[in-house]
Amino acid sequence: MNQTKLRQLRLAIFLALLTALAPLANDMYLPALPMLDSYFSISTSLVQLTLTMTTIGIALGQIFAGPISDFMGRRWPLLLGMVIFCLAALGCIYAENIWLFLFWRFVLGFCGASGIVIATAIARDIYEGAELTRFFAILIMLNGLAPILAPIIGGQLLLWGTWRDVFLLLFFIGASLVLATFFFTETLPAQRQIHNISSAFRRYGELLHDRYFFSHCLLQCFTFGAFFAYIAGSSFLFQDIYGVSPQAYSLIFGGIGLGLMLMASVSAKLAGKVSNIRLLKYATHTSCFGSILLFILFLAEGPIFVTYPVLFVTIIPLSVVGAASFSLALTRQGHNSGSASALLGCSQLLLGGAIMPLVGIAGDKTPIPMAVLMITGYSLAIWCYYKLIGPAHHTE
């Protein structure tokens, strides 16, 4: 492997860890959730609120981290975010009541979000065009390991420790990223840094008035909203309706995670050979048609060996949508890449957070709401493509 490819791989691993840090803060301690209600003597709803607080922190943290990184550069905001993330992990360990725990969970997500948005901005600083799409695809492929490995790691920690050990591991991961950031070279040239922090936040207004960029925000909002419907409903679908064991469900969930990684690698291979706009078109259509077929299967009470492949094909194009849409949206935002990355990242969470409770609106014995929400999200994404994004590329 030549030095250029080696440096690119090191950068990809570093940025992948940064973008995976906040999701790890949620996924890794999922197996420990039942322990929290007895430890803090709280209701299940309050336990679930610990996940919500981190999600809110991730969404809001990106909004602040983006402009600050455009103002100060990438290195120092990232370093500060990682340091506070480590302190928040320690805060979770030593929290004496649920309210302090909720506060530190929010801080954990808020500061972990700096890794997500600044890592994306760094990629935009270095790459463009097909190279940017290829690099995003590599990031998505590496990040695909997080939802597969995180619950397994958390579960293994609980074999010999407590829920606190999950946050201790998060502390050490954050500390390693602090150390790596010390050796990180600034990627935002001084001439591209903005010189007024208030203007950094005003750029959100500019971005929202950019019809093309806002179109990608909407498309990502709808696509990831459909994906969050799958996340919220899949455990009920396979465990309560199809009756599989939790262990079998983890393999099913992991299989789709591996599919997302595989599709990301395919996206990276196609970058430069197939246009981003064409990749985006085929990916959104595949997911939409798959969700319609999934709905039909649910109505017909189709067997699991038919439902799972259809669900698999419906979900995995998300990797292509994420890489292609991010690349297209940021290509025109070189001077606004930090703020633009923040808005795109926030767009992925907004609708998903609202959709997840709706999946169980009809109870845990029917998957119909999940399918309806997925169809709605993917259909709206196709509408965005044809009405807002495609015409900018003279694509019908």
Q: Distance (Å, rounded) from C-alpha 335 to C-alpha 119?
A: 16
**Same domain (yes/no): 227, 137:** no
- Count of H helices and E strands in the chain? 16, 0
- As a whole number, mean pLDDT of residues 157-184 equals 87
Whole-number pLDDT of residue 262:
83
Contact 188, 70 (CB under 8 A): yes
DSSP 224-279: HHHHHHHHHHHHIIIIIIS---HHHHHHHHHHHHHHHHHHHHHHHHHBTTB-HHHH
> What is the pLDDT of the chain when averaged over all its residues?
81
Q: Distance (Å, rounded) from C-alpha 221 to C-alpha 345?
A: 9
Alpha helices in 127-182 (DSSP H): 129-143, 145-160, 163-182
Q: Higher-confidence residue: 391 or 352?
A: 391
**Same domain (yes/no): 177, 213:** no
Q: Distance (Å, rounded) from C-alpha 126 to C-alpha 327?
A: 13
**Same domain (yes/no): 271, 131:** no
Under the banding of pLDDT at 50, 70 and 90, the label for residue 357 is low
Q: What is the CATH number of the domain that holds 353?
A: 1.20.1250.20
- As a whole number, mean pLDDT of residues 300-324 equals 90
**Angle, CA of 304, 307 and 308, to the nearest 5°:** 80
* 360 within a domain of the structure (yes/no): yes
The residue from 122, 153, 184 where one domain ends is: 184
* 191 within a domain of the structure (yes/no): no
Q: For residue range 137-155, what is the model confidence (pLDDT) as tens digits? A: 677 666 667 766 776 777 6
Of 110-114, 204-208, 247-251, the range with the highest mean pLDDT is: 110-114
Q: Is the pLDDT of residue 362 over 70?
A: no
Rounded to a whole number, what is the distance in angstroms from the first to the last CA of the chain? 42
Whole-number pLDDT of residue 30:
61
Of 20-29, 70-79, 225-234, the range with the highest mean pLDDT is: 70-79
- As a whole number, mean pLDDT of residues 43-64 equals 75
* 361 within a domain of the structure (yes/no): yes
**Same domain (yes/no): 260, 320:** yes
Q: Higher-confidence residue: 213 or 366?
A: 213
DSSP helix/strand/coil, 288 = helix
Whole-number pLDDT of residue 25:
81
Q: Distance (Å, rounded) from C-alpha 62 to C-alpha 19?
A: 11
Whole-number pLDDT of residue 45:
58
Whole-number pLDDT of residue 396:
45
Q: Is the pLDDT of residue 84 over 60?
A: yes
**Same domain (yes/no): 218, 121:** no
**Same domain (yes/no): 235, 133:** no
- As a whole number, mean pLDDT of residues 344-363 equals 71
* 29 within a domain of the structure (yes/no): yes
Q: Which domain holds residue 240?
A: 207-390
* 395 within a domain of the structure (yes/no): no
**Same domain (yes/no): 51, 94:** yes
* 198 within a domain of the structure (yes/no): no
Under the banding of pLDDT at 50, 70 and 90, the label for residue 259 is confident
How many structural domains does the chain have? 2
The residue from 149, 184, 219 where one domain ends is: 184
Under the banding of pLDDT at 50, 70 and 90, the label for residue 190 is confident
**Same domain (yes/no): 272, 370:** yes
Q: Higher-confidence residue: 236 or 230?
A: 230
**Same domain (yes/no): 170, 273:** no
Q: Tokens 């029917």 sit at which residue?
A: 366
**Same domain (yes/no): 350, 211:** yes
**Same domain (yes/no): 339, 220:** yes
**Same domain (yes/no): 41, 176:** yes
Contact 260, 316 (CB under 8 A): yes
Q: Tokens 């996206």 sit at which residue?
A: 267
* 340 within a domain of the structure (yes/no): yes
* 126 within a domain of the structure (yes/no): yes
